[in-house]
């Protein structure tokens, strides 16, 4: 017998084997105890994470309504498709992800290579599921349901989709939505990849009010990540819908305003007579233009339009190449010209020049300067009046009625740039109005300091005062600023901040904020009421007198005041400008119109304002063919086609 197999040797080996078994068993026991007692909670949590999934319940965005309850923005139910490229089914199996991407490309009718690149980028940069499509069709939903067992990481979720049922109506007021960016996600933890946020207009201004609060629900899932049942042990949190905005806007008046702007003839062509205003649908696209109508008593904006328009629905459903081309056109349809574009106000600015002259004691209502012979010699240059035959010697009221440039050239010289600049700053003519819209632009009221900073010492040209006096040169105002100023004059110096919000209501109809109960009054103009009455009377003659330049803004026998303007444009034809208010004795509405490169304010912009005034004052839609009626001042006749 070999010595290695002696009984003693066998006993030693048995003891060693049993010792090894005991050590292994004890080690396994310790490990099991560690996993169960020390790390048990962690692994239980991981197990539950694999079995239980939290689903986001997306909040419905608040609606936007006009002052009469007309819906301008609401929502409709639809479905969205997401893909999680980090799903456990794809770990170590890139070919599985490629097959899913290829199948989704077929369903979504997208280029597989393009979709694969998009998914790969998301996988590298984000841990969250990637939003692939919104507003899925019934056919797409059916195809996804049929292939559900082969589409790991894919999830179809219900969501509420934004809708603008009136299309382009009030598009610049409402604004549009856009997908949240990476930088915004880092700063806003309440948002998720793929969420839509307000990008412009009221959608941006009141984003926090409209958005609401997302909820969460817990569901059980199978090995493929498919929902099997709700998980009642974890309480769900329902989504809270966003609040509704009720606006000061009047949708009917807004539509009249937009159609009137669309009917403006291009390239300076004017209408033959006031009673031959073309049908609103006869010209589909007018020139770039803007209109603001507000209540000077309260600051409520009744209509605010900018042309050309855009359809905010395209930003929700996804921009096609054609959509992208249109919104990036050279006419800048996304620009809200009513608050984001500034123009020389032209002769409308003569109201401020006249008020400065009266307040500074430079003129009285009856003072007459040298007679207008069609131009004014200053230095070695002739500054022309719009009427080549001239106007003769006029007092202030006649000079405003006929919009005589020569009268205001001389008043501008008497005032000087410094006094006009100080007065403009005093009444805050070029400051932002504070309207509840984003990106409002300030105007420009040049002062000697501004000229020195821009052009150096002695940078004020000899004709600066003459140009400023008639709203030319460096003076720039937005259409909203023009409406705000004229409305303030009409209201006797009472300054009301323009605003679009009327009230905020919760989804169950509870009023959360009532703007009607708030004060929108600001620091008064601080000028003589008597001087304002002089200007109001003169503006009434601009429209109601047969010699006035604003006769095409008349509406029957209603007393209307206004001022025409024609702003020189170094890049093309003149801009047409007009501002009016009604009625003179009880101002309830002020309208300002600017039409780019369209000609004279009296012949182009005034008829646009007239249609808005007609709709507001009569409560009826403007007739297709003219609104001419006899007035106490006689038949509707315009003596000349000037300012």
Q: For residues 639 and 272, what is the distance between their CA atoms, to the nearest angstrom?
A: 13
Residue 518 burial (CB count, 10 A): 11
Element (H, E) at 422: helix 405-426
Residue 49: pLDDT band with limits 50, 70, 90: low
* Alpha-helical segments (H) within 569-631: 606-618
**For the ranges 237-241, 275-279, 476-480, 606-610, which has the lowest average pLDDT?**
275-279
Residue 628: pLDDT band with limits 50, 70, 90: very low
Task: Give bridge partners of residue 240 from the DSSP assignment.
Answer: 213
Q: Which of 403, 382, 386, 383 is nearest to 394 (CA)?
A: 403
Residue 273: predicted pLDDT: 45
Residue 146: pLDDT band with limits 50, 70, 90: confident
The mean per-residue pLDDT over the stretch 52-68 comes to 86
Residue 46: pLDDT band with limits 50, 70, 90: very low
Highest mean pLDDT among 262-271, 320-329, 619-628: 320-329
Residue 127: predicted pLDDT: 64
pLDDT of 1 > 50? The answer is no
pLDDT of 143 > 80? The answer is yes
Counting residues of the chain whose pLDDT is more than 70, the rounded percentage is 87
Residue 51: predicted pLDDT: 61
Q: How far apart are the first and last CA of the chain?
A: 132
pLDDT of 523 > 60? The answer is yes
Please say whether the beta carbons of 324 and 621 come within 8 A. Answer: no
**For the ranges 54-58, 335-339, 397-401, 413-417, which has the lowest average pLDDT?**
54-58
Query: By three-state DSSP, how is residue 626 classified?
Result: coil
Q: For residues 133 and 115, what is the distance between their CA atoms, to the nearest angstrom?
A: 11
Give, as one character, the DSSP assignment of residue 182: H
Query: By three-state DSSP, how is residue 588 classified?
Result: coil
Please say whether the beta carbons of 549 and 542 come within 8 A. Answer: yes
Residue 232: pLDDT band with limits 50, 70, 90: low
Query: By three-state DSSP, how is residue 521 classified?
Result: strand
Q: For residues 15 and 602, what is the distance between their CA atoms, to the nearest angstrom?
A: 116
pTM: 0.84
Give, as one character, the DSSP assignment of residue 631: B
pLDDT of 121 > 90? The answer is no
Averaged pLDDT of the chain: 87
pLDDT of 55 > 80? The answer is no
pLDDT of 26 > 80? The answer is yes
Residue 50: predicted pLDDT: 55
Q: For residues 402 and 397, what is the distance between their CA atoms, to the nearest angstrom?
A: 9
Q: For residues 627 and 259, what is the distance between their CA atoms, to the nearest angstrom?
A: 16
Residue 312: predicted pLDDT: 95
Residue 229: predicted pLDDT: 60
The mean per-residue pLDDT over the stretch 164-180 comes to 96
Residue 304: predicted pLDDT: 98
Highest mean pLDDT among 125-129, 480-484, 546-550: 480-484
Please say whether the beta carbons of 274 and 528 come within 8 A. Answer: no
Residues with Cβ within 8 Å of 270's Cβ and at least 6 positions away in sequence, in order, are: 599, 600, 603, 604, 641
The mean per-residue pLDDT over the stretch 485-512 comes to 96
Residue 90: predicted pLDDT: 81
Residue 14: predicted pLDDT: 78
**For the ranges 325-334, 430-439, 440-449, 553-562, which has the lowest average pLDDT?**
325-334
Give, as one character, the DSSP assignment of residue 343: B
Q: How far is CA 413 from CA 312, 362, 420, 567, in A?
A: 49, 10, 10, 20
| 244-247 and 64-65 beta bridge pairing | parallel
Peptide bond into 308 cis (omega under 30): yes
Q: How far is CA 398 from the centre of its chain?
A: 40
Query: By three-state DSSP, how is residue 407 classified?
Result: helix
Residues with Cβ within 8 Å of 60's Cβ and at least 6 positions away in sequence, in order, are: 75, 160, 212, 239, 241, 242, 507
Residue whose tokens read 């694969």: 116
Beta strands in 392-526 (DSSP E): 501-505, 511-514
Burial class (CB in 10 A: 0-12, 13-18, 19+), 75: middle
**For the ranges 220-234, 360-374, 423-437, 544-558, which has the lowest average pLDDT?**
220-234
């Amino acid at each position: 017998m070999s010595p290695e197999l002696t009984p003693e040797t066998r006993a030693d080996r048995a003891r060693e084997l049993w010792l090894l078994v005991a050590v292994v068993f004890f080690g396994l026991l310790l490990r099991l105890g560690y996993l169960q007692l020390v790390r048990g909670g962690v692994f239980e949590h991981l197990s539950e994470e694999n079995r239980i999934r939290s689903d986001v319940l997306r909040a419905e965005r608040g609606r936007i309504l006009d002052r009469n309850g007309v819906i301008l923005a609401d929502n409709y139910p639809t479905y969205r498709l997401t893909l999680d490229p980090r799903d456990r089914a794809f770990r170590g199996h890139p070919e599985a992800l490629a097959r899913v991407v290829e199948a989704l490309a077929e369903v979504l009718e997208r280029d597989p290579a393009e979709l694969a690149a998009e998914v790969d980028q998301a996988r590298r940069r984000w841990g969250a599921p990637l939003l692939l499509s919104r507003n899925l069709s019934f056919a797409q939903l059916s195809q996804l349901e049929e292939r559900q067992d082969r589409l790991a990481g894919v999830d179809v979720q219900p969501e509420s989709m934004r809708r603008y049922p009136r299309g382009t109506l009030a598009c610049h007021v409402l604004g549009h939505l856009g997908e949240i960016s990476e930088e915004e996600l880092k700063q806003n933890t309440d948002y998720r990849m793929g969420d839509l946020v307000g990008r412009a207009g009221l959608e941006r201004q009141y984003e926090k009010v409209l958005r609401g609060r997302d909820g969460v629900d817990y569901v059980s899932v199978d090995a493929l990540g498919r929902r099997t049942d709700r998980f009642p042990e974890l309480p769900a949190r329902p989504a809270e819908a966003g609040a509704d905005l009720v606006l000061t806007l009047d949708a009917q008046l807004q539509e009249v305003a937009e159609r009137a702007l669309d009917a403006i003839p291009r390239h300076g062509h004017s209408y033959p007579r006031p009673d031959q205003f073309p049908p609103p649908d006869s010209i589909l696209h007018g020139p770039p233009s803007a209109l603001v109508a507000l209540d000077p008593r309260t600051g409520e904006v009744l209509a605010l339009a900018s042309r050309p328009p855009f359809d905010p629905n395209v930003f929700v459903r996804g921009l096609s190449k054609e959509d992208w081309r249109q919104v990036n056109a050279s006419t800048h349809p996304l620009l809200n010209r009513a608050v984001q574009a500034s123009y020389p106000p032209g002769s409308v600015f003569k109201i401020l020049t006249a008020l400065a002259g009266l307040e500074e004691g430079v003129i009285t209502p009856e003072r007459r300067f040298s007679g207008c012979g069609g131009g004014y010699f200053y230095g070695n240059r002739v500054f022309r009046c719009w009427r080549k035959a001239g106007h003769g010697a006029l007092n202030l009221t006649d000079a405003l009625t006929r919009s005589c440039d020569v009268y205001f050239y001389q008043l501008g010289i008497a005032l000087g740039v410094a006094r006009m600049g100080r007065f403009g700053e005093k009444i805050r003519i070029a400051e932002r109005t504070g309207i509840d819209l984003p990106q409002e632009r300030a105007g420009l009221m040049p002062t000697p300091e501004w000229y020195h900073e821009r052009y150096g010492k002695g940078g004020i040209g000899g004709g600066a005062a003459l140009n400023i006096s008639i709203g030319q040169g460096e003076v720039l105002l937005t259409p909203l600023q023009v409406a705000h100023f004229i409305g303030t004059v009409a209201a006797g110096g009472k300054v009301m901040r323009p605003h679009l919000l009327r009230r905020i209501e919760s989804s169950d109809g509870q009023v959360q904020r009532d703007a009607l109960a708030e004060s929108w009054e600001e620091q008064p103009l601080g000028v003589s009421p008597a001087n304002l009455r002089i200007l109001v009377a003169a503006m009434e003659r601009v429209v109601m007198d047969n010699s006035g330049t604003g006769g095409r803004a008349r509406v029957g026998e209603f007393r209307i005041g206004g001022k025409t303007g024609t702003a020189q444009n170094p890049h093309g034809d003149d801009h047409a400008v007009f501002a009016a208010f009604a009625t003179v004795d009880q101002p309830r509405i002020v309208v300002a119109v600017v039409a780019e490169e369209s000609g004279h304010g009296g012949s182009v912009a005034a008829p646009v304002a007239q249609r808005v005034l007609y709709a507001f004052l009569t409560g009826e839609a403007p007739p297709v063919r003219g609104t001419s009626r006899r007035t106490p001042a006689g038949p509707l006749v315009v003596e000349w086609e000037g300012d």
